[in-house]
Structures are given as structure tokens and as C-alpha cells.
Amino acid sequence: MAMSGVSRWLILGCLVLLVACRPATSDVPGAQVDLTWDPAPPAVGQAQLLLRLRDAAGQPLAGGKVRLEGNMNHAGMKPSFGELNEVEPGSYAGTLEFTMGGDWFVLVTATFPDGTSLERKVDVAGVKAR
């Protein structure tokens, strides 16, 4: 059966929507993300953190612009944000505020000079309530 003009436009529209719905990604394949806290485990308040980023071969991912977003694992809480500074190639330090005790997760977003980027979710279980 021949496809009508309207059907063709509908399918094209759906395809455009599908493409538009998918956020653009250019992830670093096999990247390793290692996050350490001070205090460990973190408690409510500001926590110091050190983030080490390595590629699949174990080489440091240097020169990145790294941003953190901390959320509790339940809804209805304002997220915490943090910008990290590179202290040595592939190692980034900074702080993040935990506003409540419980289970958190941190979204690590990094963009690198070559245009690649990285996004990872790191669980931070059992942030201590004061």
C-alpha cells in the first residue's frame, strides 16, 4: 500500500523527535572514576573529596572541567553542586555539601580539551546524620 503524504510526515516527525529526545553524548569509553571522601563516610555538612579519572588504559584524564551534582536517592530535595579543581594530572579536588543524612548519589560530569566528555553516577551510601 502506498504511504500517504501525511503518514510520511508523521513518521519523519517521530524520527526527528526521537533524535531530539536523545541527549548528545561523546563518552570516554572504559573510563575509571574513583571518588574518595574526607571524612569517610561523609557526614552532613561540607565534605572534601578527591576524584581520580583514568582512561581505559589507566592513563590520567587530565585538563578536564569537572562538575559534581549530589542528590539524595529520594525525591524532593534540592541538589548540591560542586566544581572541582585539578590538583595533579587526572586528579581533581573540591567540596560538596551534604544537606541530610542517608543515601546519596553523585553525578560526575567532565569535559576534556579534545571535546570528549564523561558522565558517571557514583553512589554515596549512608551519609551520616549529625
Partner 1 sequence: MTTTLSRRPPSGDRLPAGQRPNAALDLLALPGVGRFLRWRHSRLMLQLPLLAVSVVMVAHAFWGPDLAPKNLAALLTWVHFRGLVVLALLCAGNLFCMACPFLLPRELARRLIAPRWEWPRWLRGKWLSLALFVAVLFTYELFDLWSDPWWTGVLIVAYFAAALLVDALFRRASFCKHVCPVGQFNFLGSTLSPLEVAVRDHQVCHTCSTKDCIVGRRAEAPQALDRQRPAGEAQLPIIQRGCELGLFQPRKVGNLDCTFCLDCVYACPHDNVGLLARLPAEELVAAGSRSGLGVVERRADLSAWMIVFTFAALLNAFAMISPVYALEQAIAEWTGLTVEWPILAALFAVTLLIEPALLLAAAAYTTRWLSGTGESLLAIVQRFARSLVPIGFGIWLAHYGFHFFTGLWTVIPVTQHTVWRTTGRELLGAPQWHLGGLPESVVFPLEMGFLGLGLLGSWLVAWGISRQLAAERTLGGWAPWAALHLAIFAAAVWILTQPMDMRGTFLGG
Contact range with partner 1 by CB under 8 A, out of 29-37, 75-83, 85-93, 108-116: 75-83
Of 107, 110, 88, give the one whose Cα is nearest residue 96: 107
Q: Extract the C-alpha cell encoding 110.
A: 567532565
Q: According to CB under 8 A, which one of 68, 72, 110, 118 is a site residue for partner 1?
A: 72
Q: According to CB under 8 A, which one of 12, 14, 40, 125 is a site residue for partner 1?
A: 125
Buried b (16+ CB within 10 A) or exposed e, 15-37: eeeeeeeeeeeeebeebebebeb
Residues that bind partner 1 (CB under 8 A): 17, 20-23, 44, 69, 71-79, 81, 100-103, 105, 121, 125-126, 129-130
